[in-house]
């Protein structure tokens, strides 16, 4: 074991948490997604998705844009520049962790 930090120490709890990692992974591929789409891809309840989006929004990693389309409310969710950076950092830390695993 070297003196370098263990790779798990480079993981950010805000991004690493399972549901939030899923949300950011989806948003990393799509420019924006609407709430219903995220809920269905990640098979989450409204409440659960909402709660994790709030955490990500408070960290500045996503934005939520509530609009009306054809008179129906819709929430567009998009990843921010700093969200993309945080996600990239998480991916690098995960790759380092996985690279250290034998077998």
Assess 29 for contact with its own copies (CB under 8 A). Answer: yes
Q: Number of residues in contact with its own copies, rule: CB under 8 A? A: 30
Q: Considering only residues 55, 59, 78, 91, which one is a binding residue for its own copies as defined by CB under 8 A?
A: 91
Alpha helices in 1-103 (DSSP H): 13-16, 18-29, 35-41, 46-58, 81-99
* Nearer Cβ to its own copies (19/63): 19
Nearest Cα to Cα of residue 86 among 102, 68, 62, 69:
62
Query: Euclidean distance between the first and final Cα of the chain, in Å?
Result: 17
Backbone torsions φ then ψ of 33, nearest 5 degrees: -140, 150
Assess 43 for contact with its own copies (CB under 8 A). Answer: yes
Site of interaction with its own copies (CB under 8 A): 1, 5-9, 11, 13, 16-19, 21-22, 25-26, 28-29, 41-43, 91, 94-95, 97-98, 100-103
């Amino acid at each position: 074991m070297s003196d370098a930090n263990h790779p798990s120490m480079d993981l950010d709890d805000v991004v690493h948490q399972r549901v939030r990692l899923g949300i950011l992974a989806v948003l990393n591929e799509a420019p924006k997604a609407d709430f219903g789409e995220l809920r269905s891809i990640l098979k989450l309840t409204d409440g659960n998705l909402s709660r994790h989006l709030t955490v990500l929004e408070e960290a500045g990693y996503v934005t939520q844009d509530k609009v009306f389309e054809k008179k129906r409310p819709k929430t567009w969710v998009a990843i921010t520049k700093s969200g993309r950076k945080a996600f990239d950092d998480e991916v690098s830390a995960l790759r380092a962790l996985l690279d250290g695993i034998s077998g």
